[in-house]
Amino acid sequence: MRILVTGGAGFIGSHVTDALIEKGDEVHVIDDLSGGRREQVNPKATFHLLDIRDNAVEGLWEKHRFEVVYHLAAQMDVRKSVADPRYDADINIGGLLNLMEAGRNNGLRKVVFSSTGGAIYGEPERVPQDEDHTLQPLSPYGITKLCSEKYLHFYRETYGIEYVALRYGNVYGPRQNPHGEAGVVAIFCERMLDAKQPFIYGDGLQTRDYVFVSDVVAANMKALEYKGSDIFNVGTGVETNVVQLFRALRDVIDPTLSEIYAPGKPGEQKRSVLDYSKSKSILGWTPQVEVTQGLGVVANWFKAGRLK
């Protein structure tokens, strides 16, 4: 298959690209390198230095006629989306529409979309949150992901382009960038290795569903095989709080570090945990990496990078 991966130089996108190359697909990557790294792109993929909002996207599609797009490129910083909602929407909605308009005229058959489980549901009414949970996103980032899912439904109904939206938990693993739009796992690892004190904000009891990147890649491969359109959670069903996270990483990197607390951040969601039973029953996907195991792997990956 001819497949386009947007954001393919980034954390999750580069891993997805590797899996598609290994499967034998012809893979092209679009990335503007605002967050990704060129050296993370598989050398067997064709790389295009391009913003997903650029008019050149249509010419690229006309030339290569991609059948499938894995759409991972996004403005992912929740705080930035709150500070500048127009910028967030320009990338996350405008970029998607630019891709879809180019694709619908040039052979696009399917979209595998990286959505969000944490930001799209809002504070849980029940846990774990399944795909039928009320959708009350608390940030413009979550709103744009929900809006994108609705646009994908429109393109399916109007043009017959199938889609699978994967609502991720908090993804972590090797290649995660500890700067900019980083998750707490990468930030903690970086600060610990720099002998800088990481801070636990609030009481540290806020929970998230941490899912390892290899499990996310496996869900993306299952989505490609799926016939039809639907939405699936990609998480573990396990809540891990920030204190537990800190201690697990500290034990691997620097057991002498103290737990230092700082004032909580206003508006931070207290709980998020995803029900993956639909993914299990329909896609045949289940997470394989337990969180303590995964945190050990990523901590050692960061450590190994410092030894080079």
Percent residues over pLDDT 70 in the chain: 97
Question: pLDDT averaged over the chain?
Answer: 93
At 308, the pLDDT band (50, 70, 90 cuts) reads: very low
- Asked if 61 and 197 sit in the same domain, the reply is no
- What is the DSSP secondary-structure string of 100-116? HHHHHTTT--EEEEEEE
> What sign does the CA torsion over 133, 73, 113, 281 have?
negative
Tell me the catalytic residues.
Answer: 141
- Asked if 37 and 134 sit in the same domain, the reply is yes
Instruction: Tell me the whole-structure pTM to 2 decimals.
Output: 0.94
At 195, the pLDDT band (50, 70, 90 cuts) reads: confident
**Upstream peptide bond of 128 is cis (omega within 30 degrees of 0):** yes
- Please list, residue by residue across 57-77, b when 16 or more beta carbons sit within 10 angstroms of its beta carbon and e when fewer do: bbebbeebebbbbbbbbbbbb
Q: Is 254 contained in some domain?
A: yes
pLDDT single digits (tens) 158-188: 999 999 999 999 999 999 988 755 588 999 9
Q: Under DSSP, is residue 157 helix (H, G, I), strand (E, B) or coil?
A: helix
Average pLDDT over residues 25-40: 95
At 80, the pLDDT band (50, 70, 90 cuts) reads: confident
Residue 267 has pLDDT above 90, yes or no: no
**What residue ranges in the chain does DSSP mark as E strands?**
2-6, 26-31, 46-49, 68-71, 110-116, 162-168, 170-172, 199-201, 207-208, 210-212, 230-234, 240-241, 260-262
- Asked if 53 and 30 sit in the same domain, the reply is yes
Using the 8-state DSSP alphabet, how is residue 52 labeled?
Answer: T
Q: Is 256 contained in some domain?
A: yes
C-alpha 71/C-alpha 105 separation (Å) is 17
CATH number for the domain that contains residue 215: 3.40.50.720
Number of domains into which the chain is organized? 2
- Asked if 90 and 155 sit in the same domain, the reply is yes
